[in-house]
Structure formats: C-alpha cells, structure tokens
Amino acid sequence: GAGVSQTPSNKVTEKGKYVELRCDPISGHTALYWYRQSLGQGPEFLIYFQGTGAADDSGLPNDRFFAVRPEGSVSTLKIQRTERGDSAVYLCASSLTGGDLRGYTFGSGTRLTVV
Amino acid sequence: GENVEQHPSTLSVQEGDSAVIKCTYSDSASNYFPWYKQELGKGPQLIIDIRSNVGEKKDQRIAVTLNKTAKHFSLHITETQPEDSAVYFCAASKRGGTSYGKLTFGQGTILTVHP
C-alpha cells in the first residue's frame, strides 16, 4: 500500500480483556517497529522486527504484551488482561531495512482506551 | 540506554516569527538525530534530520544544529506560518554498521503559530 495502515483506528475495551492491534507495513519493507505514545509524551519503543523475527523486544513493558509477524509483512500486537495504564496510542512504523532511518514511515496509530 | 530531553513543552509565536526547540541526549554513541512533526490524529512525519558528522543542516525555512561536545541539538523554524502549528519531536538513534532504527524520542513541543 501507499503507507503504513493500522487497524482499528480506535479501540475501547474493558479492563481485563484481550486486544489485538494490527499493522500493515509498506509493501517490501522488511523492518517493522511498534511504539507506544502516552498522552503528552513522545513515542516509546516497544519492539523491532526484521523480517519474521523479533530482533529486539526490550521495550515490551511486561509479559502481557506480545507481538508477531508470521509472514514478514503484517504484524499484530497483542495485549492480554488489559489495564487502564495500557491506554495510549500504539504506533507502527516500517522501513525498507533496519538501517534505513530516513525511510521510516509511521502509521496513524491505534488509540486504545481501557475502561 | 539513551535519554532525550526536549524543551520547551509548549511554544507560542506570532506568524512570521522564528521558533526554536532544543534537545539534549545522553548517549555519546548516538549519531543520527531526526525531527518529526505530528499533527492531530496522525503519526509522526520526518521533517529534517542530521548526522553527527555535520554541525548544521538547512531545508528552506527549517534548520537543525548539532553540538556533539555538549550533546545537544536544536530545530529552528523561520518565518513561521499557521500551518506549522503541530507537535514537534526530536529523536536520537545509532545509524550504521549493525545498528537498526530504534528511535528514542523527546517529550514533544506543542507549537502554536498565531495569525
């Protein structure tokens, strides 16, 4: 596609529920990143995929968070037992390769609200 | 890990004035410093970047300066226009070799340009 697509754009869920957030990167981009942006803050790194593998998941806050990219394209961020503190905008970005910082393209994000 | 501090958090200027946003970073190994503009409901968009082997870079009304010794870099916008109103983020990363595009962002500056 022309850009990075994230769905849904908004998600409201109840505390304790499970949610999945989807990211469709730009076609051909091998590197994919997830960031979390809390209100009034800059994005914070969560996880980096190179192809199908998670090359760096050091930013995942705890074991309730998990992400996959089984075919090296679409990625899903999964959050179990959601808490109110998980409310944030979850941003996905992709680039042609891991070293292609100038070609970094962000999606518009998924706004997650846990009530 | 890297830590990026950004000031001011809000900046209000009259159309035609200049705006300056400043950032400091902690990791002397960081060598790539992009600036992003984020409009409401959208993901961050790269507006200008600078590598550590360059002290200044200009692109029309936007310029960035870097002081490696002091570990700080700044964004300068001249002749501001109402459409420059947005949230601006600085970021730092390591580029080259086996490094990949993990970005550490500042906290953001809300720029308002009054007509």
Question: Average pLDDT over chain A, rounded to whole?
Answer: 95
Question: At B46, is the pLDDT very low, low, confident or very high (cuts 50, 70, 90)?
Answer: very high
Q: What is the pLDDT of residue A98?
A: 81
Mean pLDDT for the stretch of residues A11-28? 97
Cross-chain Cβ contact A33/B46 below 8 Å: no
Whether A113 has a pLDDT exceeding 80, the answer reads: yes
Q: Residue B103: its chain A contacts at CB < 8 A?
A: 33, 35, 43, 45, 101, 104
Give A80-91 pLDDT, tens digit per residue.
999 999 999 999
B25 touches B2 (CB < 8 A): yes
> From the list B32, B43, B102, which residue is nearest A107 (CB)?
B43
Average pLDDT over residues A50-78: 95
Enumerate the residues of chain A whose CB falls inside 8 A of the CB of residue B106. 42
DSSP classification of residue A85: G
pLDDT(A63) > 80: yes
- Chain B partners of A102 at a C-beta cutoff of 8 Å? 34, 46, 49
Rounded CA gap, A21 and B100, in Å? 23
pLDDT per residue as tens digits for the range B80-108: 999 999 999 999 998 766 667 789 999 99
Burial label, A75 (beta-carbon count in 10 A; 0-12, 13-18, 19+)? buried
Q: For B11-62, give the DSSP string.
A: EEEETT--EEEEEEE--TT--EEEEEEE-TTS--EEEEEEETT-SEEEETTE
| Shortest CA gap A80–chain B (Å) | 25
Interface of A with B in 25-84 (CB under 8 A): 31, 33, 35, 40-45, 48, 50, 55-56
φ, ψ for residue A47 (rounded to 5)? -155, 150
pLDDT of residue B88: 98
Mean pLDDT in residue range A4-31? 97
Minimal-distance CA residue of chain B relative to A100:
B101
Report yes or no: B56 and B2 within 8 Å, Cβ to Cβ. Answer: no
Q: Rounded to a whole number, what is the distance in Å from the CA of B104 to chain A's nearest CA?
A: 7
